[in-house]
Amino acid sequence: MKMYYDLGSQIDMEGLEKLHFKICLGIAKSKKFISTRLIPHYEMSNQFREAVDFKNSEAYRIGKVAEDNNSLLTDEESEEYNKLSYNEKRYVMELYCKGYCDGYFVPITFTKSKPELKFATFYEDQCTPSVNIQHFPELMEWISNKTPFIHIGRVMFFNTTHYLHSDMHYDRRDDWNDGRHHFIWFNPFKMKKFFLVDGYEKIYIDSKAIFFDMGFIHGADPTPFSTYSLRIDGQLSEEFCNANDILWKKR
């Protein structure tokens, strides 16, 4: 697959952007999940090469590194820590374990607690509506009527706090690109200064909607205002894939 597919002109971005105020209201009313991480914060000290090297190293795995905090706590502390909610744990990581938070995410639909599939986020039967879905009726209508998905799995907003780098990461390096798993990452108003990393070069994405190879490190530069982007996982239609040179295979 290509590094990314520019789908900005193929998508009704105007329809999505018209929902901006409703989306802001919806996010304000939603249950949010803080994205605190414990990995070295090279981005914030502008150590780009060190950041790339680290993210490419064996030590780095998305999620695992963030979760691997018990080693920093005594047994007694761990016992208390394990009783906390997701967000409470993140606050402890941020304050007590010297972590950092680049924002939060807002799930609209999310994987069931024990997904059976490795690529669960791409399958509707592995996902379930979040309590937040009630705040986004217009968005859900737009997704069903105006996007080229034939299957919709996880739908989620990624919010980044003003003046902070979005944590650079890659999502997977497994062989997920078999024509059955697609997603679109939407960047209304080009709010995020999003990039993919090729070697040590940032490839900035000047598009409001892309499908990209998650195996490339990706992130976003700081902006002077807080931002959201929207990612929908699922499967795109065969017709849409053919028109955009994207691999498609029947599930």
Residue linked to tokens 């080693």: 71
Q: At its nearest, how many Å lie between Fe ion and the CB of residue 216? A: 10
Q: Which two tokens stand for residue 14?
A: 């105007």
Give, in order, the Cα–Cα distances in Å from 130 to each of 59, 68, 109, 243: 32, 26, 5, 33
Q: At its nearest, how many Å lie between Fe ion and the CB of residue 170? A: 7
Q: Which two tokens stand for residue 12?
A: 């009704």
The residue at minimum Cβ distance from Fe ion is 171
Q: At its nearest, how many Å lie between Fe ion and the CB of residue 218? A: 6
127-147 burial, b at 16+ Cβ within 10 Å, e below that, comes to beebebbebbeebbebbeeeb
β-bridge partners, 232:
155, 184
3-class DSSP state of 6: strand
Q: At its nearest, how many Å lie between Fe ion and the CB of residue 211? A: 13
**Closer Cβ to Fe ion, 62 or 97, answer by number:** 62
Q: At its nearest, how many Å lie between Fe ion and the CB of residue 84? A: 25
Q: Which residues bind Fe ion (CB under 5 A)?
A: 171
**Closer Cβ to Fe ion, 92 or 220, answer by number:** 220
DSSP code at position 214: T
**Closer Cβ to Fe ion, 171 or 221, answer by number:** 171
Residue 171 burial class via C-beta count within 10 angstroms: exposed 0-12, middle 13-18, buried 19 and up: middle
**Closer Cβ to Fe ion, 98 or 173, answer by number:** 173
**Closer Cβ to Fe ion, 81 or 212, answer by number:** 212
